[in-house]
């Protein structure tokens, strides 16, 4: 929903047209979505969602939610508008400055976005637009996700960059509390995933996660060359999810 203030900032627009192909809503994505759907009780609710290419909003709509989406990147919104019903309102705005009245949503969902935000500002805004008793759901990665991640061997600075971006459970709990949220509850989920060599190479070549935009270009080039030489036929890796649910 917003870009980081780093010297290099992720360019989400560069991947908008092919994002859903190189980062598909696969079985792993669907499992986490169903967990959020059930834990946050989003069915038939008024829900604010981080938009991206619209996959989250589309899933929420399919489950009967009344959805509005926000994203600061117009090219992402263009993809989302093409896939979503015309009555789903999408706004080119950031989570730190929401164009909505106080208390107009029952639920809000942040999916792999809290590491991109000025969280104190964004959490204050999200609390403002939720009604009394409303629920914020956050999908992020647990700190253990970065231990031995498959890209670490090719891009040595990636682990430290992402550890600096993604909040730990303890930090997230503190920040939500400082923003006035209560009854904060965490859920962990571990998944196993695999990629074929060609799938893994395409992800690396296309820089499929925003961290690539924060790595020195020389390191990126060296890592890509090493991957072309040494990637195995199948890449096995773990996904370690951290989900947070907090009450207004």
- pLDDT of 148-194, one tens digit each? 999 999 999 999 999 999 999 999 999 999 999 999 999 999 999 99
Contacts of 77 (CB under 8 A, 6+ apart): 51, 71, 90, 92
Q: Is 2 within the bounds of a domain?
A: no
pTM of the predicted model as reported, rounded to 2 decimal places: 0.94
Residue 149 belongs to some domain of the structure: no
Dist CA 69 CA 82 (whole Å): 14
Q: How many independent structural domains does the chain possess? A: 1
When pLDDT is cut at 50, 70 and 90, the band that residue 9 belongs to is: confident
| CATH value at residue 106 | 3.40.50.150
Q: What are phi and psi of 114, to 5 degrees?
A: -65, -25
- Per-residue pLDDT of 115-156, as tens digits, reads 999 999 999 999 999 999 999 999 999 999 999 999 999 999
Residue 19 makes CB contacts below 8 A (sequence gap 6+) with 52, 53, 76, 79
Inside any domain, residue 65: yes
Q: How confident is the model at residue 12 (pLDDT cuts 50, 70, 90)?
A: confident
3-state helix, strand, coil in the chain (%, to 5): 45, 25, 30
Would 230 be classed as within a structural domain?
Answer: no
On whether residue 203 sits in a domain, the answer given is no
The answer to whether residue 62 sits within a structural domain is yes
Q: Range of 77's domain?
A: 12-142+166-190+240-247
Across the chain, where does the E strand assignment appear? 46-50, 66-70, 89-91, 105-111, 130-141, 182-196, 234-247
Cβ contacts of residue 203 below 8 Å, gap of 6+? 22, 23, 195, 209
Measure the CA–CA gap between 161 and 86, rounded to whole angstroms.
Answer: 38
179 CB-side CA count, 13 A: 27
């Amino acid at each position: 929903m917003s870009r980081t203030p780093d010297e290099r900032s992720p360019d989400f627009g560069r991947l908008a047209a092919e994002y859903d192909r190189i980062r598909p809503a696969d079985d792993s994505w669907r499992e986490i979505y169903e967990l959020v759907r059930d834990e946050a009780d989003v069915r038939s609710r008024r829900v604010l969602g981080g938009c991206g290419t619209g996959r989250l909003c589309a899933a929420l709509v399919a489950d009967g939610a009344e959805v509005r989406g926000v994203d600061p990147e117009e090219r992402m919104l263009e993809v989302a508008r093409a896939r979503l019903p015309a009555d789903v309102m999408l706004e080119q705005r950031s989570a730190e400055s929401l164009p909505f009245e106080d208390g107009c949503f029952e639920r809000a969902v942040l999916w792999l976005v809290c590491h991109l935000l000025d969280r104190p500002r964004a959490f204050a805004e999200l609390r403002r637009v939720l009604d009394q008793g409303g629920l914020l759901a956050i999908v992020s990665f647990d700190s253990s996700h970065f231990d031995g991640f498959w890209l670490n061997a090719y891009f040595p600075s990636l682990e430290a960059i992402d550890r600096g971006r993604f909040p730990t459970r303890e930090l997230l709990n503190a920040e939500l509390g400082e923003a006035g949220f209560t009854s904060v509850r965490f859920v962990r989920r571990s998944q196993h995933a695999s990629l074929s060599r060609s799938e893994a190479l395409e992800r690396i070549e296309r820089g499929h996660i925003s961290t690539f935009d924060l790595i020195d270009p020389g390191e990126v080039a060296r890592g890509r060359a090493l991957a072309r030489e040494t990637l195995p036929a199948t890449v096995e890796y773990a996904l370690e999810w951290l989900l947070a649910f907090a009450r207004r």
